[in-house]
Amino acid sequence: MSSLSKKKFQPVTLWTAPSIVLLLCLTIVPLVMLLVFSFMNRNIFAGEPWPGWTMNNLTRMIESDTFWRLLGKSLMTALKVTLICIVAAYPTAWAIAKIVKPKNRSIFMMVVILPFFTSQLLLIYAMMNLIQSGGLLLTLLDAIGFHNVPTMLYTNKATILILTYEYLPYMILCLYSSLEGIGDNLIQASLILGANKWKTFTNIVFPMSVPGLLSGVLLVFVPVAGSFMEPGLVGGANGAMVGSMIDTQYSGSLNMGYGAVLSCTLLIVLSIIMGLVRLATARAQKAIGGDVE
């Protein structure tokens, strides 16, 4: 065996051990603790004695109409935000990757990631000031003739708008990384051979951008489905989502066990959905002649 092969197949060294330990501590251990808390009948963090085990939290969740209603609402909101981000991000990422000159791309990418330079809470309050009654948006609409336009604040539309604003950069960055790697010669060859722009997109651009699309969907859908700060601030009295319910169990009623059950259920549901999306995308890509990387 050559020295290159020996180097390639050598066992994990001590250099990677710290990273593995850190990964276990930050992912596996919290998940195991969450699962354990789900079956506790007391809250040890509230000074109560070491608890016994119970299925009451799971039974309560199954019988809770509020939880399932908020879960459905959260998934639907996440789906809407993800679809809006995809529609808005594809042309934006394409323009930056293929139309803007290479020397100017860094400027446009800086504009895309500019919201990351400040805190999420400040972004929310900035958008609230923009769309509230008497804010800049309604003032401009009134100036151009659209009078008495109702404010979007404290509605589900406001929640979707702010979540889209927050997570759109993630989708743009993921799609940009895939679209930039598509060779211009492939696109030119497709057009020369008679394919129109739509066929070029469906047969070349889309299949080759699927890895970035899946990454973007993961980075948008999952956190939006579990969000609680945005619905609480801009969603109004009826703006609660499943993340709000989970947050209440931890910070409000200090019901650690019930909150852990809700969290585990949300995690399982999102994992199943992401797996189905991955499977469906792989089949669709295979049907049009692409291979998922």
Count Cβ atoms within 10 A of the Cβ of residue 267 and give its class: 0-12 exposed, 13-18 middle, 19 or more buried.
middle
State the average pLDDT over residues 49-73: 86
- Strand, helix or coil for residue 63: coil
Query: So what's the pLDDT on residue 80?
Result: 96
The one-letter amino acid code at 139 reads T
What is the CB neighbour count within 10 angstroms for residue 78?
25
Q: Which residues contact 230 (CB under 8 A, 6 or more apart)?
A: 124, 159, 162, 163, 166
Structural domains present in the chain: 22-287 (1.10.3720.10)
Indicate the DSSP class of residue 42: S
CA distances from 266 to 51, 74, 102, 270, 285 (A): 24, 10, 42, 6, 28
Task: Place 12 in a pLDDT band, splitting at 50, 70 and 90.
Answer: low
Query: So what's the pLDDT on residue 9?
Result: 47
Query: So what's the pLDDT on residue 293?
Result: 43
Query: So what's the pLDDT on residue 8?
Result: 52
State the average pLDDT over residues 152-172: 91
150 compared with 273, residue with greater pLDDT: 273
Instruction: State the pTM of this model.
Output: 0.83
Return the percentage of the chain with pLDDT > 70, whole number.
89
Rounded to the nearest integer, the mean pLDDT of the chain is 84
CA distances from 110 to 85, 96, 138, 291 (A): 18, 11, 29, 32
What is the CB neighbour count within 10 angstroms for residue 43?
17
Q: Which residues contact 29 (CB under 8 A, 6 or more apart)?
A: none
Q: Is the pLDDT of residue 5 over 90?
A: no
Strand-pairing partners, residue 40, are: 53
State the average pLDDT over residues 44-57: 69
Burial per residue of 174-210, b for 16 or more beta-carbon CB atoms within 10 angstroms, e otherwise:
bbbbbbbebeeeebeebeeeebeeeebbebbbbbbbb
Indicate the DSSP class of residue 155: S
Query: So what's the pLDDT on residue 291?
Result: 44
State the average pLDDT over residues 182-207: 85
State the average pLDDT over residues 132-153: 79
Q: What is d(CA 89, CA 50) in angstroms, rounded to the nearest whole number?
A: 50
State the average pLDDT over residues 216-241: 89
Q: Which residues contact 242 (CB under 8 A, 6 or more apart)?
A: 67, 70, 71, 73, 74, 225, 226, 262, 266
